[in-house]
Structure 1
Amino acid sequence: MTNRIRRHRRGLTAVALAVVATLALAGCANDSFAEQYAADAEQGYVAGDGSWEVFTPGERAQPVAYEGESESGDTVTSADYAGEVVVMNFWYAACPPCRVEAKDLEQVNQDFADQGVNFLGVNVYDQAPTAESFNKEFGITYPSILDVESASVRLAFSDNVPPQAIPSTLVIDQNGSVAAVIRGVADPSVLTEMINTVLEEQAA
């Protein structure tokens, strides 16, 4: 990993999203995307699947505080995850690419369940019954903050998640700062690399 920030932005079109959804539903694995990430390739954009950014510890912004209510009615705050890594996914139930990535996100969640990594959704549109129905359909076990009324969590992370970038997935380090972001469908191999990088920082 180099010390420069890798920024790659490109707007997603409806056609691109359709292609991504078709490929993902067909079970296509973007192994070359993960290889690009690991090899520090200059290109982070693949097949209309959004963009990603990685921030080294010295380049990260200040920790972000947030609070909201989950679909189960529990209050969730950034303080709940103090000293642990958080993977935060912005989504809503009727979003096609959100549905494409849901099972992959849950699998990565399970892969890191015993390593101090917490997954947390931020639902930007739905009420509790819809969110709970989505969780049941896709086997999601981690909570989501329902952010539709206040948009406070989305506002807190607006520098990393612009309004049109749903889904987006953030990797938040143990200090509460954003270490990486994927805008668009999260490739599980790339997300895994990002999480491992942050975990290795703590071990160093």
Structure 2
Amino acid sequence: MNTPPGGGMARRSILTGLAAVASLGLAACAGPDPLAQQAAAGDNKNYIAGDGSVQEYAAESRGAPVALSADLYNGTPVSSTDWAGKVTVLNFWYAACAPCRVEAPHLEALYQEFAPQGVLFYGINVRDEKPTAEAFERTFGVTYPSVQDKDGKVLLSMTRFVPPQAVPTTLVLDKEGRVAARILGGLDKSTLKALIDSTLQA
């Protein structure tokens, strides 16, 4: 089929115009409240879904305690050595991940329920700068602290249990700091409650 004179140029012009429109659309998303814009876009920013599987690990198969150190968003250092004798919940998240937004109120409710029993909760944020993380916490009423892990050091140290990109993932650590249970993907509140109860009673 012969190309009409100027047809190739016309197609290039159309493609260039479409690219310009797309660029304007992306530029419009850059604003002072990235959380709200990402939530509205619903694109999940490269979210790779976990399958929602739940794994519990028998005490004899839990291996060595988790070893990590990092800083909270407020600059306070935190270390796994501080968790000795405590059941600890670690939730890996970032603001633009839709399942993270869904489960945030459940995690906060469980934190409020179990904090009197000494259970610790920490978020591990794998992508966000402080303003974005804080906007998320305000939006969803999250009051437990989060570690800033944009450099991926904590995630890298936990790849045995947390596949890179498979966020959210939630871990329950026993009183010796070993992983007792894992939820890969968005969590069910009643399931996480049962896992925490089971780990407390062990």
2:168 aligned residue: 167
Q: CA deviation at 1:59?
A: 1.2
- 1:122-174 C-alpha deviation (Å, 9 max, x unpaired): 0000011111111111110111110012x111111111110131000000011
Alpha-carbon RMSD across the aligned residues, in angstroms, is 1.1
2:103 aligned residue: 101
CA distance in 1, matches of 2:131, 2:72: 11
Kindly provide the amino acid, as one letter, of the partner of residue 96 in structure 1.
A
CA distance in 2, matches of 1:148, 1:61: 27
- 1:20-69 C-alpha deviation (Å, 9 max, x unpaired): xxxxxxxxxxxxxxxxxxxxxxxxxxxx8511110011111210111111
Give yes or no for the alignment of 1:85 onto 2:87. Answer: yes
1:4 aligned residue: none
* Structure with max Cα Rg: 2
CA distance in 2, matches of 1:73, 1:163: 25
Superposition misfits of 4+ residues, deviation over 6 angstroms:
none
Alignment counterpart, residue 54 of structure 2, candidates 52, 55, 60: 52
CA distance in 2, matches of 1:89, 1:193: 16
Label 1:159 to 1:168 Cα distance change in 2 as closer, same or farther (>3 A): same
CA distance in 2, matches of 1:127, 1:69: 13
2:74 aligned residue: 72
Matched residue of 1:154: which SS?
Answer: helix
Q: Which has the higher helix share?
A: 2
CA distance in 1, matches of 2:104, 2:192: 13
1:6 aligned residue: none
Matched residue of 2:102: which SS?
Answer: helix
CA distance in 2, matches of 1:79, 1:141: 22
1:15 aligned residue: none
Kindly provide the amino acid, as one letter, of the partner of residue 76 in structure 2.
D
Kindly provide the amino acid, as one letter, of the partner of residue 195 in structure 1.
I
% identity of equivalent residues = 50
- Unaligned segments of structure 2, at least 5 residues: 1-49
With normalisation by structure 2, the TM-score equals 0.74
Figure out how many residues of one structure are paired with residues of the other and give that number. Answer: 153
Matched residue of 1:113: which SS?
Answer: helix
CA distance in 1, matches of 2:129, 2:97: 14
